[in-house]
Amino acid sequence: MVIGGVFLESLIMKLHFYITKKHYKEHHYAFGKYVFFLSFPLLALLVIFYLTGQTTINVFLIFSFFGTILEWCIGYAYYQVVGQRLWTYHRYSIGSFTSFLSIPVWGLGGVMFWLLAKVFV
């Protein structure tokens, strides 16, 4: 699913260049690009939810919450011990150690690992 999303993004960037003859900004933040980046995995999550039931959404919400808390705790602890930040968030920061934009990424990662665990166990 992630590979499919990256492939679609690459294809759309090339089509954008051929149509407008302007290079697409690859390394700059844009909210539209963020939404596009998450749209394919979130659509896949909805399909998985339809096939497997409520458990998938519960796993998504649990991993979103705990992943964000874990990221904040690790960033804060590292800052307290070393005096430098491991990472910085310039948009929608939560206490300078995590971001609201990373919450769905944690949830999607958690669902991916949960599904892998179901396959191998």
pLDDT in tens, 71-101: 999 999 999 999 888 888 888 888 888 888 8
- Predicted confidence (pLDDT) per residue in 15-41, tens digit: 777 777 666 555 666 777 777 777 777
pTM: 0.70
109 vs 10, which has greater pLDDT? 109
Considering only CA atoms, which of 35, 61, 78, 69 is closest in space to residue 114? 61
d(CA 119, CA 77): 35
Share of the chain above pLDDT 90, in %: 25
The tally of domains found in the chain comes to 1
d(CA 79, CA 47): 40
Longest dimension (CA), the chain: 51
Question: Which structural domain range is residue 102 located in?
Answer: 2-120
